[in-house]
Structure 1
Amino acid sequence: MAEESHLLEFYGDECGPCKLMKPIVDKLNEEGLNIQRLEVWHDAENAALMEKYDQGRCGGVPYFYNTKTGKSLCGAQDYETIKAWAQGA
């Protein structure tokens, strides 16, 4: 992992809903929120990290986890929901 962030998005390369989230996450990153994207379908280390944080709550991707608040989002979300999650709401 390059720059560590407390905001994590776990995704799969071939995941349709994950592809829909990319422009939203990119926009939020441009706004300074620093959501770190971690591919899990082809990276065992990232998959293990997702399992650690998910603990069976979601079980799929996209999965968003805030390590500061412990809050997570499961599945595709809209811009406002992801922004509120990222800001700790």
Structure 2
Amino acid sequence: MEYKFTTANFEEEVIKSDIPVLVDFYADWCGPCKMMMPIVDKMAEKYDGKIKVGKVNSDEENQLAAKYNIMSIPSFLLFKNGELVDTLTGAMPADILASKLDSLL
């Protein structure tokens, strides 16, 4: 299951999550973001129940993007126990993203 994170639900869904969280900062106009969509969807399926996977539209949620210093998209933030533990930027192969997610488990 893929989540939609917003300023309104970020604290509850990400910071207070009892499982690790992958946050995908993207924009609808971003080519590399579109390339990553099927990969992120696959990760949401693969890690369902183990890692929460969701997206933040950086155009709509610019306060969140500013808070986490998102300068390039796609940007992937990995949270564990409410703490930001890793950041990845740009399009990447599925196996690289999966290995980062595996390290959270």
- Structure-1-length-normalised TM-score: 0.78
- Structure 1 pair 50–84 and aligned structure 2 pair: CA distance change class (3 A): farther
Instruction: Give aligned pairs, total.
Output: 83
Letter in 2 for 1:40: S
Alignment of 1:43-58 (within 5 A): 43=60, 46-54=61-69
Give distance in 2, aligned partners of 1:49 and 1:40.
8
Deviation (angstroms), 1:77:
1.1
Letter in 2 for 1:64: F
Of 27, 35, 43, the residue aligned with 2:53 is 35
1:20 counterpart = 2:35: yes
Structure number with higher strand proportion:
2
1:61 counterpart = 2:73: yes
Letter in 2 for 1:82: L
Corresponding residue of 1:84? 99
1:3-48 residue CA offsets vs partner (Å, 9 max, x unmatched): 824210000011000000000000111112431111112x1xx222
Task: Flag structure 2 segments of 5+ consecutive residues without an equivalent.
Answer: 15-20
Aligned-CA RMSD value: 2.1
Corresponding residue of 2:13? 4
State the identity %: 33
Q: Are the aligned partners of 1:28 and 1:34 in contact in 2 as well (CA < 8 Å)?
A: no
Deviation (angstroms), 1:82:
1.0
Q: Are the aligned partners of 1:10 and 1:39 in contact in 2 as well (CA < 8 Å)?
A: yes
Task: Flag structure 1 segments of 5+ consecutive residues without an equivalent.
Answer: none
